[in-house]
Amino acid sequence: MQIDMRKIYNFYPLEPAPSPDDLPTGGDIYYECLECSGVVSSVPRIKSACACGNLSGSGGKIEVRDPLKVRVVRGKLK
């Protein structure tokens, strides 16, 4: 089951953009895949992944295959 995070949150890019080598994590930090536009929490508690598989994780850990194809955004509830 895929949840469209954009229906729940508004996302705003972090400024200045963090380095792909040192992506931040946090409860309100999300990663947007630039390849497929999927959004995944930086600390996913349930199994989560973007459509192309660049972002995947669960149990508070995330795997990023290509950090150059990730935009770090802050999520605010609508």
Alpha-carbon distance of 66 to 68, in angstroms, equals 5
pLDDT digits (tens, 9 = 90+) for 47-71: 999 999 999 999 999 999 999 999 9
Alpha-carbon distance of 9 to 69, in angstroms, equals 21
Model confidence at 1: pLDDT above 60: no
Alpha-carbon distance of 52 to 69, in angstroms, equals 11
In degrees, to the nearest 5, what angle opens at C-alpha 74 toward C-alphas 46 and 52? Answer: 55
Each domain of the chain, given as residue ranges in start order, spans: 5-77
Residue 64 · residue 53 · CB < 8 Å: no
Give the other-Cβ count within 10 Å of 9's Cβ.
Answer: 17
